[in-house]
Chain A
Amino acid sequence: MSEVIVVTSGKGGVGKTTTTANIGTGLAKLGKKVVMIDTDTGLRNLDVVLGLENRIVYNLVDVVEGNCRIKQAMITDKRCPKLYLLPTAQTRDKSAITPEQMIKVLDELKEDPEEFDYIILDCPAGIEQGFQNAIAGADRALVVTTPEVSAIRDADRIVGLLDAHGLKDHEDLIVNRIRMDMVNRGEMMSIDDVNDILQLNVIGAVPDDENIVVATNKGQPLVGDDSLAGQAYMNICRRIIGEDVPFLDLNGKGGFFKKLSSLFKGK
Chain B
Amino acid sequence: MNNSVVIKSNKHGITVVLDNRADFTTLKSCVEDKFRQSAAFFGNVDMALAFEGRPVTNEEQKELLDIIEKETSMNILCVMDNDENKDAAFVRAVHGSCIQEQTQTASDGLFYKGTLRSGQVLESETSIIVLGDVNPGGRIISKGNVIILGSLRGNVFAGANGDEHAFVVALEMNPMQIKIGDVIARSSDSAQTKKNKNKTVSPKISFVEDGNIYIEDLTSDILEDIRI
Contacts and interface: CB of A to CB of B under 8 A. Distances in A.
A196 B115 CA distance: 11
A238 interface: no
Interface residues of A, number: 14
B135 A156 contact: yes
A157 B119 contact: yes
Contacts of A161: 119
Contact of B136 (A153, A163, A189, A199): A153
A223 to B, nearest CB: 30
B115 A199 contact: yes
B171 to A, nearest CB: 13
A157 B153 contact: no
Interface string B1-38: 00000000000000000000000000000000000000
Interface residues of B, number: 14
Contact of B119 (A149, A160, A196): A160
B164 interface: no
B61 to A, nearest CB: 58
Contact of A197 (B119, B135, B193, B194): B135
Contacts of B119: 157, 160-161
Among A153, A154, A160, find the residue whose CB has the most chain B CB atoms closer than 10 A: A160
A149 B135 CA distance: 12
A228 B177 CA distance: 41
27 contacts: A149-B136, A153-B118, A153-B137, A154-B118, A156-B117, A156-B135, A156-B136, A156-B137, A157-B117, A157-B118, A157-B119, A157-B137, A159-B117, A160-B117, A160-B118, A160-B119, A160-B120, A161-B119, A163-B114, A163-B117, A186-B194, A196-B151, A197-B133, A197-B135, A197-B136, A197-B153, A199-B115
